[in-house]
Structure 1
Amino acid sequence: MTVTSSQEWSTRTFGNESRLPRVPLPTLEDSCEKFLAWCGPLLTPDELAVTENAVAAFLHEGGLARKLQAELERYNSSDGVESWLDTFWPYRYLGRRDRIALNANFFFLFAASGQSQIERAAGLIAGAVGYKRKLDDELIPPIIQRGQALSMAQNKFLFSATRIPGEVLDTVRAPYSDAEPGPSTARHIVVFCRGNMIRMDVLGPDGVPYDLDDLSAGLEAVKKAAANENPVGDAVGHLTTKARAEWAASRQSLIALDPANAEALDTIETALFCVCLEDFAPRDTQQACDELLYGDRGNRWFDKAVSFVVFEDGNAGINVEHCGLDGTTILSFVDTLLNGAPEEHSAASGATSQGLPAIEPVDFVLDEALRADVTAAAEAFAAYGAATATTTVSFEDFGTNQAKALGSSPDAFAQLAYQLAHKRSKGFTGATYESIATRQYQNGRTEAMRVVTPEVLAFVSTMDDPGADREAKKAAFHEAARRHVARAKECQAGQVPEQHLWELQLIHRRQGGEEPLALYETPGWLKMRDDYLSTSSAPSEHIQYFGFGSTSTQCIGVAYVLLPDRWNIYLSTPLPVADEMHQFAAKLTEAVLELQALLS
């Protein structure tokens, strides 16, 4: 990868996109070799042999895989294509057919502010509108990391971006697109309160932001207008919790029933973002996290890219639709919003007092069939949320500073602690996913890292070997940590197999191919991608907790905020394996203390 001097990078938000290096396209041989190395630790000798035979057939000269690779190479060199993953990402996210609520959207719980609900919401709106104004003029500074500019393309999905359900594949309605070139021209947001939806202007007729007092007055007016709880059957936001094809059918029914419904959808879809005002205060941090992940009561539009959720006590967070936005982009956005007083953000945006912002209810025309549909969606999602178990784990006196002092990469320490806890709680080492950011490339997003290596297996085995002394355990830890860091660097460099092989499979499907590809039915492919732990990190001093749902029936979602002096983790899993999750949490606490003592 060619590294440009940081002094040469453009200071405009999107000024470096075309100058970033392209994501490397691996060869078939490289990906297959790495695939076998990645899946091997999870397989029995017989399973590995079956997988190796399928890989050998996959690599056969003149075979289908060679044709798919050639097709991908042609695509990668086509005009207008910036990455061989440009088609992969839409199919990965927009192609999923289950619910995105809880299953795909993620959340951040912000640090407490001590503000009232109205003050907090007004401050978040002011900060977000100020961010948009700077983004429109490309004045958000591009991120430069270790001398390398990162892609800022995801920022185009922060405002007025909405996922639209489809029968086979979803789409995205967003600015900076062929349909809507350039920044969003919307001047409004949608505020949810007690299941009611209310449009509120946040920019005046001339595009100047309303000041904090105006925004506060507007939010008070919204709460007054939404004093009565909207009946469940009328709270159309519930429909966004449905599986995608079912929601697509419901959306078509809405549009067909009355033209007013198309106008209401347009208001929501073009809104800069949503603000969800809750009429209760969570009893504790875990409930706040749960409400941010899958709280409802018709008070969400899960298809919206960005929804701020503000509780009655002023605590707040964000729920994010994942198809165009990854955690690193949202962290930068949130850090900007929360770094500085609302008054500073408002003044910097050029906000002026303009009186009470225009507010207007967003009403849908519903018949009995649609009311029944909304009610059924509400009941089904309530049951789905109740079938999810969650908990939090917090280390108030351990963070990256302590890990480094112990001679370990902080992320390697965290991942090895997870592996040790999983082995002790479930009796085996299972497939583990970790997302690795790759924004140094054009349209770069993330790579899939598989954590379990032979060194990890040796480490967890040595830790529970009564014959292993302290030095043997330390050596096993450091060897596994070194391998973890090396693999993470391979992922950052795009030298990894999973997304490459997955895209070849998707090309085959998109072409309507019926010829079977045995590799994708092997124990190696199926076991490597059947997560027992799905992990991701979001480090920010402005974030208390980060969270997402599990990815399979036996998976524990592990979302963690690892900072210099603390480490907060939110765990989620299907209810049938709740006991295993709580056991994992307990074993994790023990493992962290044990590893600290071992390495001291």
Structure 2
Amino acid sequence: MAEAHQAVAFQFTVSPDGIDLQLSHEALRQVYLSGLHSWKKKFIRFKNGIMSGVYPGSAPGYMLVLAGYMGRARYAQLDPSLGLFSKAGKYIPVSRYMSLDTQRTVGGIIVGTGLWVAIIFTMRSVLRSLLSWHGWMTERHGRISWKTRVWLVLVKIFSGIQTPTLYSFQTSLPSLPLPSVKNTMRRYLESVRPLLDDEEYKRMQELALDFQKNLGPKLQWYLTLKSLWATNYVSDWWEEYIYLRGRGPIMVNSNYYATDFLYLFPTHIQSARAGNAIHSIMLYRRKLDRAQLKPLYAIANTVPVCSAQWERLFNTSRIPGLESDTIQHVSNSRHIVVYHRGRYFKVGMFYDGRLLLPREIEQQMQRIIADTSEPQPGEEKLAALTAGNRVPWACARDAYLRQGKNRQSLDAVEKAAFFVTLDDTEQRHDLKNPVQSLRNYGKSLQHGKCYDRWFDKSFNLIVYKNGTMGLNAEHSWADAPIIVHLWEQVLAMDIEMSYTADGHCKGQPHRNLPGPQRLQWNIPSECQSMISNSLAVAQALADDVDSHIIPFEDFGKGLIKKCRTSPDAFIQIALQLAHYKDKGKFCLTYEASMTRLFREGRTETVRSCTVETCNFVRAMISNETREKKLDLLKQAAEKHQQLYRLAMTGQGIDRHLFCLYVVSKYLGLDSPFLSEVLSEPWRLSTSQTPVQQLELFDLVKHPEHATTGGGFGPVADDGYGVAYIIVGEKLINFHISCKHSSPETDAQRFGNHIRQAMLDMLALFQLDPKALKMVVSGSCGELWLRS
């Protein structure tokens, strides 16, 4: 289908009269426009690089400093060059080429520029020191101390007057601090105390104290050296050893998903929904390339967070290796790859020197859907290689997919801006059957058929036959807040662009638009056998996943705030109560927290199962008085907020322990303490999906714009994975996962326990659910974008 539309730049024939050369003016025009677009993009990137490089300096600031310096020198009748050229004249015959006045002017410009650069570096150093202070996180809402007020003013002043871009603050962010071994040991023992009996705790205490006294200081010395040398002492090792060196499937185990609107169905036409979504994603990429995205802040427009993870959002793919994978990122990509009914299509995103419009992208998607050609041998289930174990995928890729036309097709997939699946199933939130419909929807986004998503791409856009859509994202290159920021804008733009009355994208199809290009594969039988083996592994993993999604509509953060409790702490304590009711015991609990207050920061662990929380749970199970339960709940919430603040400010324990373990392996030293700590299973893994751009959706006027959030697979075979999103004031969505193969877990049962735990905890406060007056409380840290 598509090959007939491919343009060629010239044609020629050979005859007795010589060579007859026929140029295609349309093809040459497209070559010219493509080159023009490329050079414009290079210029914009160069300009933005300069602007970010000199931030918080600016062109007006430079002119002001230069004019002030030159004016001051002339007023005082001083040499503005400070004798620069007179000293240089001893070695270089400057006077032959410049007069004395010219030398002074040029020298003054050089000295003034040096002064401007010195001011920039001073401002950066002061700003970095200011951002290293985190006392603002303990302030109560509406009760900011004078110290914090002065600090906020200073941060504003030293952030400069220039409007910052996404990467402006990168060089001003502080480095992640390295905790002491003593503090880490103390807080580790505190975290495991509720999980161990007296004898087990005493043994662990002896191991920790021995490590603190003997091996710990030696490992800490190397880690201190790295923290002084590297930008971030954790992130590179975390990416390498936690993600890229994993040899098991990344599907379910690592990749995560994001969902569509919960109640809104903008169009039933698959190609139209894809048209608007793909165009929106490409517009977002253009903003990213031009540095037009605003930086994110912990406190509104004051305390910036690291933006480094945005760099690999597009044009990125994970490449399998025998021992370790790598991340391949190309600077630019002008196409996407679309999968439909077992076929792969390369679709250019630009024509006539511009981005395709939504209706034109819909036209391309409809051409793919209308294509009746059959998959080539081995093509349909090729992507199962990305869903299975990594070593067979690496072997198959090197042996069979890096030669001939397979190489060109594989490059098209791996270097695409992103991957799109036009799914041939229908998914949606069915109000008549909410439990099963949401379960099917979540599992489809999480793993699909195991061969209809390219799990190695930075993200897959999945558009279903009935117009519902979602994302599946690879985890190694970045964390969930980056994908969520993109997804929020895509959904908001989808509402803004809207559709025609009959469900199509607005606009007109393009008469001369070349069609999609069908990718060609030559997959031998040996490779097809490897595909079948990978598919069997992936299918067994997918079939074992139990999923349950709860739109919890009984109450939201509005009533939780009336309880004068942090919404996140409230939910985490409810999860502990639900888990105890589900299994009759406590477990090591992982809650993800971001460390993006620091340069190249990613995540840290909040160990949510604390002594205080366990005391509250036991009180809820027993016949303690309501007042006693409330008091214990307050203690548990305060402890949770303290742990969260420590994690966000670089004082967590798990990343430190991880890095100490890596150093021990490099040195060839065995530590019984570290080996035991790093092997402890996280039977309850939790994460809050961040809502970062509240201004995009007015849920008061349009409650149908609520999203479902996203989810991930369980970390332990006998544990639960729980993702949750706080949507507006009245809705909290939970995504629960576990494995059917474990007799201890059941996703729907655990979901019922969560719902009941939330209601039981709210009942302690004896509030009127119909109350409209809001009492906002909590710390400034609650304004954080949670990961």
Same fold (TM over 0.5): yes
Q: 1:566 to 1:542 in 2, by over 3 A?
A: closer
Provide the residue aligned with 2:701 in structure 1. Answer: none
Distance (whole Å) between structure 2 residues aligned to residue 339 and residue 6 of structure 1? 30
Provide the residue aligned with 2:266 in structure 1. Answer: 114
Which AA in structure 2 matches 1:306? F
Provide the residue aligned with 1:157 in structure 2. Answer: 312
Where 1:434 maps in the other structure, the secondary structure is: strand
Report whether the alignment pairs 1:581 with 2:747: yes
Provide the residue aligned with 1:136 in structure 2. Answer: 289
Distance (whole Å) between structure 2 residues aligned to residue 558 and residue 232 of structure 1? 36
Distance (whole Å) between structure 2 residues aligned to residue 298 and residue 259 of structure 1? 23
Distance (whole Å) between structure 2 residues aligned to residue 514 and residue 230 of structure 1? 50
The answer as to whether partners of 2:463 and 2:469 remain within 8 angstroms in 1 is: yes
Report whether the alignment pairs 1:48 with 2:201: yes
Where 1:339 maps in the other structure, the secondary structure is: helix
Aligned match of 1:364 in 496, 517, 521? Answer: 521
Provide the residue aligned with 1:188 in structure 2. Answer: 335
Distance (whole Å) between structure 1 residues aligned to residue 178 and residue 638 of structure 2? 26
Query: Could you tell which deviates more after superposition, 455-464 or 373-382?
Result: 373-382
Q: 1:47-86, aligned counterparts within 5 Å?
A: 47-60=200-213, 63-78=214-229, 81-86=230-235
Report whether the alignment pairs 1:553 with 2:704: no
Where 2:383 maps in the other structure, the secondary structure is: helix
Distance (whole Å) between structure 1 residues aligned to residue 334 and residue 370 of structure 2? 22
Report whether the alignment pairs 1:433 with 2:598: no
Provide the residue aligned with 2:139 in structure 1. Answer: none
The answer as to whether partners of 1:200 and 1:359 remain within 8 angstroms in 2 is: yes
Distance (whole Å) between structure 2 residues aligned to residue 539 and residue 425 of structure 1? 27
Which AA in structure 2 matches 1:543? T
Which AA in structure 2 matches 1:555? G
Aligned match of 2:184 in 17, 24, 31? Answer: 31
Report whether the alignment pairs 1:515 with 2:669: yes
Q: CA RMSD in A?
A: 2.3
Distance (whole Å) between structure 2 residues aligned to residue 125 and residue 293 of structure 1? 20
Aligned match of 2:447 in 274, 285, 294? Answer: 294
Provide the residue aligned with 1:389 in structure 2. Answer: 546
Aligned match of 1:204 in 351, 360, 371? Answer: 351
Distance (whole Å) between structure 1 residues aligned to residue 740 and residue 347 of structure 2? 39
TM-superposed deviation, 1:114 = 2.0
Report whether the alignment pairs 1:249 with 2:395: yes
For residues 471-510 of structure 1, the C-alpha deviation after alignment (integer angstroms, 9 at most, x for no partner) is 111111111111111111111111111111111111222x
Provide the residue aligned with 1:178 in structure 2. Answer: none
Where 2:764 maps in the other structure, the secondary structure is: helix
The answer as to whether partners of 2:309 and 2:478 remain within 8 angstroms in 1 is: yes
The answer as to whether partners of 2:547 and 2:735 remain within 8 angstroms in 1 is: yes
Aligned match of 1:494 in 650, 661, 680? Answer: 650
The TM-score with structure 1 as length reference comes to 0.91
TM-superposed deviation, 1:68 = 2.0
Between the two proteins, what is the percent identity of the paired residues? 26
The answer as to whether partners of 2:387 and 2:450 remain within 8 angstroms in 1 is: no
Where 1:561 maps in the other structure, the secondary structure is: strand
Which AA in structure 2 matches 1:504? L
TM-superposed deviation, 1:16 = 1.1
Aligned match of 2:630 in 474, 484, 488? Answer: 474
Provide the residue aligned with 2:659 in structure 1. Answer: 503
Unaligned runs of 5+ in 1: 176-183
The answer as to whether partners of 2:377 and 2:523 remain within 8 angstroms in 1 is: no
For residues 234-270 of structure 1, the C-alpha deviation after alignment (integer angstroms, 9 at most, x for no partner) is 43111001112221112112246x3222222211111
Q: 1:558-573, aligned counterparts within 5 Å?
A: 558-563=722-727, 564-573=729-738
Provide the residue aligned with 1:20 in structure 2. Answer: 173
Query: Could you tell which deviates more after superposition, 325-334 or 232-241?
Result: 232-241
Distance (whole Å) between structure 1 residues aligned to residue 352 and residue 524 of structure 2? 35
Distance (whole Å) between structure 2 residues aligned to residue 131 and residue 261 of structure 1? 31
Provide the residue aligned with 1:180 in structure 2. Answer: none
TM-superposed deviation, 1:373 = 1.3
Does 1 or 2 have the higher relative contact order (CA < 8 Å, sep 6+)? 1
Provide the residue aligned with 1:413 in structure 2. Answer: 570
Q: 1:127 to 1:221 in 2, by over 3 A?
A: same
TM-superposed deviation, 1:230 = 6.2
TM-superposed deviation, 1:174 = 0.9
Where 1:544 maps in the other structure, the secondary structure is: coil
Report whether the alignment pairs 1:105 with 2:255: yes
Provide the residue aligned with 1:87 in structure 2. Answer: 236
TM-superposed deviation, 1:297 = 5.3
For residues 20-58 of structure 1, the C-alpha deviation after alignment (integer angstroms, 9 at most, x for no partner) is 111111111121111111122211212211211111221
Which has the greater radius of gyration?
A: 2
Report whether the alignment pairs 1:270 with 2:415: yes
Which AA in structure 1 matches 2:636? A
TM-superposed deviation, 1:558 = 0.3
Report whether the alignment pairs 1:318 with 2:318: no
Distance (whole Å) between structure 2 residues aligned to residue 226 and residue 164 of structure 1? 31
Q: 1:525 to 1:89 in 2, by over 3 A?
A: closer
Where 2:460 maps in the other structure, the secondary structure is: strand
Aligned match of 1:2 in 109, 126, 130? Answer: 130
Distance (whole Å) between structure 1 residues aligned to residue 357 and residue 343 of structure 2? 24
The answer as to whether partners of 1:187 and 1:204 remain within 8 angstroms in 2 is: no
Distance (whole Å) between structure 1 residues aligned to residue 682 and residue 376 of structure 2? 39
The answer as to whether partners of 1:532 and 1:555 remain within 8 angstroms in 2 is: yes
Distance (whole Å) between structure 2 residues aligned to residue 260 and residue 364 of structure 1? 6
The answer as to whether partners of 2:588 and 2:609 remain within 8 angstroms in 1 is: yes
Distance (whole Å) between structure 1 residues aligned to residue 451 and residue 586 of structure 2? 40
Report whether the alignment pairs 1:543 with 2:671: no
Q: 1:46 to 1:234 in 2, by over 3 A?
A: same
Distance (whole Å) between structure 2 residues aligned to residue 307 and residue 376 of structure 1? 23
Where 1:569 maps in the other structure, the secondary structure is: strand
TM-superposed deviation, 1:227 = 5.5
Unaligned runs of 5+ in 2: 1-128, 132-153, 429-436, 500-507, 692-704, 767-787
Distance (whole Å) between structure 2 residues aligned to residue 211 and residue 162 of structure 1? 26
Q: 1:215-254, aligned counterparts within 5 Å?
A: 215-225=361-371, 228=374, 234-254=380-400
Query: Could you tell which deviates more after superposition, 265-274 or 247-256?
Result: 247-256
For residues 544-575 of structure 1, the C-alpha deviation after alignment (integer angstroms, 9 at most, x for no partner) is 13110000111100011122210111111111
Provide the residue aligned with 2:603 in structure 1. Answer: 446
TM-superposed deviation, 1:232 = 6.1
For residues 155-204 of structure 1, the C-alpha deviation after alignment (integer angstroms, 9 at most, x for no partner) is 111111100111111100014xxxxxxxx321000001112111100123
TM-superposed deviation, 1:226 = 5.7
Distance (whole Å) between structure 1 residues aligned to residue 721 and residue 253 of structure 2? 10
Distance (whole Å) between structure 1 residues aligned to residue 207 and residue 303 of structure 2? 39
For residues 274-301 of structure 1, the C-alpha deviation after alignment (integer angstroms, 9 at most, x for no partner) is 1111112026222111100011352110
Where 1:557 maps in the other structure, the secondary structure is: strand
The answer as to whether partners of 2:387 and 2:451 remain within 8 angstroms in 1 is: no
Distance (whole Å) between structure 2 residues aligned to residue 516 and residue 443 of structure 1? 29
Corresponding pairs, count: 577
Where 2:408 maps in the other structure, the secondary structure is: helix
Report whether the alignment pairs 1:596 with 2:596: no
The answer as to whether partners of 2:548 and 2:735 remain within 8 angstroms in 1 is: yes
Distance (whole Å) between structure 1 residues aligned to residue 372 and residue 307 of structure 2? 38
Q: 1:320-359, aligned counterparts within 5 Å?
A: 320-341=473-494, 355-359=512-516
Distance (whole Å) between structure 1 residues aligned to residue 367 and residue 547 of structure 2? 36
Query: Could you tell which deviates more after superposition, 352-361 or 453-462?
Result: 352-361
Provide the residue aligned with 2:781 in structure 1. Answer: none
The answer as to whether partners of 1:160 and 1:270 remain within 8 angstroms in 2 is: yes
Provide the residue aligned with 1:373 in structure 2. Answer: 530
Q: 1:163-178, aligned counterparts within 5 Å?
A: 163-175=318-330
TM-superposed deviation, 1:580 = 3.8
Provide the residue aligned with 1:534 in structure 2. Answer: 685
For residues 309-364 of structure 1, the C-alpha deviation after alignment (integer angstroms, 9 at most, x for no partner) is 01111111101000112111111111112223477599xxxx99684254112232
